[in-house]
Structure 1
Amino acid sequence: MGLKSKVLIIGGTGYLGKRLVKASLEQGHETYVLRRPEIGVDIEKIQMLLSFKKQGAHLVIGSFNDHRSLVEAVKQVDVVICAISGVHIRSHQILLQLKLVDAIKEAGNIKRFFPSEFGTDPARMADALEPGRVTFDDKMVVRKAIEGAGIPFTYVSANCFAGYMVGGLCQPGHILPSTDSVVFLGDGNKKSIFVDEDDIATYTIRMIDDPRTCNKTVYIRPSQNILSQREVVQIWEKLIGKQLEKTYLSEQDFLNIMKGQAYVEQVGLTHYYHVYYQGCLASFDIGEDEEEASTLYPDIKYTKVEDYLTQYL
């Protein structure tokens, strides 16, 4: 087996980023984490970075406000993974990633770039509703820049993060499962795909040195986690030994509620709409030029929804 690639993780103190750092170290990669001066006196992030250092990671100083520092950071590694927060402010994430693309292009040494995606495949969301489509449009702008620069890439579509969706039984605004009641979005029967965040990181790091994933979109679709909201609720009911009181929110009522929310909330609710009313995540077959992670790496024992829900008992 050849040498493992050196990996730079940007956004390493974030929700997914910290898991990517852990997975990279566990899989034996020389791991670098960007330390941005902008974190200032955020003690929790500083302590997390120091904990990475204790585990063997290298901390590299770099700022999106300092192009040269980004170039120098990128030159130290073979692979860059961006996991900066997917905030719903158009001028923020898209500009940061475009700056990173410029740095990678100038450095000229990167053999794989993983941009900050990890959710719904934006290439399949051209007809998404406003204002939520802004996040998909932004990601496509970044993709165009990557491909225009000739940078080898992998786009990871990890579907629904279990912590946000499974814990709340797929209900917006909930991250803990109720033992009393649940609101079904529509009839609750549209299929979705749920993936434990640690598993997302494990699969992503495995892709780094795999030629099968180069210049492709890789979907994380564990077969036993392709479930409807109703099926998730049924699993929970079996675990707690009781039936929940069920109500139903029609498509039109959901859209009416969404329109009355602030912009940021509308963006998030638009995603719920496409997932749970339209079934956008599981309504297509993976193409010949795309890959599926659990098929590529059958040795990875992913967390099933039932096992994930047991932590809430």
Structure 2
Amino acid sequence: MADKSNLLMFGATGAIGNYIIKAIINSKDAFGRIAVFTSANTVASKVKEIDALKQAGVEIITGDIASQDDVKAAYSGFDTVISALGRGAIASQIPLIQLAAESSNIKRFVPSEYGTDIEYGPASQHEKPHQQKLKVRAALKEVQGQLEHAYVVTGPYGDYPFYIGPAAEPKVGSFDATKKHAVLLGDGNGRISLTSRPDVGKFVVHTLTHWDVARNRAMKVNSFTTTPRGILEEFEKQTNSKWTVDYTPLEELRRIEKKAWENGAPIATVCTLRRIWTEGSTLYDRRDNEDIGAVQTESLEDLVRGSIQGQLAASQ
């Protein structure tokens, strides 16, 4: 982009939005205005976070995301929208996209796509956790020509407390540094690509600053590729100990997943995603890091170190 883009972000104080807005702030010289749209409730309940954003020069726009008038007013003066809305609010992006397409000044929309590739293969369209994101992609397809987009597809978050850490249900995969016990999925040798949340923020920034190559693409990016066994070996190295190990074969994981959905268990989505990853659906013919100049990323060693520190701190 020849001119500095003016950015408006939704979901900036959430679990992943927090990392994205930090990365944007760290690269603020590359952008013009930077603002976040948030609710009055968030402003009142997250005073510390909102004050930190203000001190960093971020504008705070307060409104109701369900109000067309509030969103239209917020769009004024901006050309790029970035969404980091959580899984429960994914469908809320559809009216945001429609209003952006109708706007005379919004040119680009980066939806909340961070995570699993929802169009990895023919079976992906049937996966339950993908349905709302697929509707968002359909909405963007409908306005193509009016509104540009880029999907930042990062694969699963690897950093603690996510994949490289203990699980509430260990059978869906776990690395417990306090017990020095791991549960590996499959045979432990299946490759999986992971991304740290700080790297998600970096990838969004690089997408925005390399828009000529990212425009209207699904950018498949990640921090590194490893195996469950490789993660275990790094834990054993950093804890200087031999861990006990159990395995959850893929067929058993599928049975756990099926039962979780039948029982309406909160862990059902996690089961499905981990089954998808264990089947190899984080592996691509190529990754797009190099296309957007995001080649320096966090390593497996970094994420294991952070997980050990986080787990020990949580246990005290």
Q: Distance in 1 between matches of 2:76 and 2:298?
A: 35
SS for the counterpart of 1:80 is strand
Instruction: Say whether the 8 Å CA contact 1:182–1:247 is kept in structure 2.
Output: yes
Query: How far, CA to CA, are the matches of 1:12 and 1:41 in structure 2?
Result: 15
Match of 1:149? 143
Partners of 2:252 and 2:292 lie apart in 1 by 41
Q: Report the AA paired with residue 37 of structure 2.
A: L
CA distance in 2, matches of 1:251, 1:203: 31
Is the contact made by 1:64 and 1:99 (CA closer than 8 Å) also made in structure 2? Answer: no
Matches within 5 A, 1:89-104: 92-94=89-91, 96-104=92-100
Quote how far apart the aligned CAs of 1:56 are.
Answer: 0.5
Q: Which runs of 4+ in 1 moved over 6 A?
A: none
- Partners of 1:268 and 1:21 lie apart in 2 by 26
Please report how far the alpha carbon of residue 191 of structure 1 lies from its aligned counterpart in structure 2 after TM superposition: 0.8
**Equivalence for 1:70:** 71
1:274 aligned residue (268, 273, 276): 276
Q: Return the letter of the residue paired with 2:128.
A: V
> Which amino acid in structure 2 is aligned with residue 116 of structure 1?
S
1: CA distance between counterparts of 2:273 and 2:246? 21
How much does 1:232 deviate? 0.8
* Distance change in 2, residues 1:52/1:83 (3 Å): same
Question: How far apart are residue 203 of structure 1 and its match?
Answer: 1.6
- Aligned partner letter, 1:165: Y
SS in 2 for 1:302: coil
C-alpha RMSD of the superposition? 2.4
TM-score by length of 2: 0.85
Distance 1:138 1:250 in 2: 29
Q: Which amino acid aligns with 2:289?
A: A
Deviation of the 1:295 alpha carbon: 4.8
Is 1:310 equivalent to 2:305 in the alignment?
yes
After superposition, residues 5-20 of structure 1 pair within 5 angstroms as: 5-20=5-20
Give the conservation status (yes or no) of the 8 Å contact 2:125–2:131: no
Contact in 2 for aligned 1:6/1:78 (Cα 8 Å): yes
Contact in 2 for aligned 1:183/1:248 (Cα 8 Å): yes
Deviation of the 1:178 alpha carbon:
4.5
Which residue, out of 166, 172, 184, partners 1:168?
Answer: 166
**Residue equivalent to 1:236:** 235
Question: What pairs with 1:185-196 in structure 2 (closer than 5 Å)?
Answer: 185-196=185-196
1:168 match: secondary structure? coil
Please give the alpha-carbon distance, in whole angstroms, between the structure 1 residues aligned to 2:217 and 2:291: 15
**Paired residue total:** 295
Matches within 5 A, 1:1-313: 2-28=2-28, 29=31, 30-39=33-42, 41-42=44-45, 45-87=46-88, 92-94=89-91, 96-128=92-124, 133-150=127-144, 151-163=147-159, 164-168=162-166, 172=172, 177-210=177-210, 211-222=212-223, 225-261=224-260, 262-263=263-264, 264-276=266-278, 278-282=279-283, 284-286=284-286, 292-298=288-294, 301-311=296-306, 312-313=308-309
CA offsets, 1:136-161, max 9 Å, x none? 12211111111211210000111111
Give the Cα separation in 2 of the matches to 1:268 and 1:126: 21
Deviation (angstroms), 1:162: 1.8
Could you tell me how far 1:125 is from its partner in structure 2? 4.9
Contact 1:221 1:294 in 2 (8 A): no
Q: Name the % identity.
A: 21
1:245 Cα offset (Å): 1.0
Relative distance call for 1:50 and 1:159 in structure 2 (3 A) is: same
What is the alpha-carbon distance in structure 1 between the residues aligned to residue 298 and residue 292 of structure 2? 16
Decide whether aligned partners of structure 1 residues 129 and 219 sit closer, same or farther in structure 2, where only a CA change above 3 A counts. Answer: closer
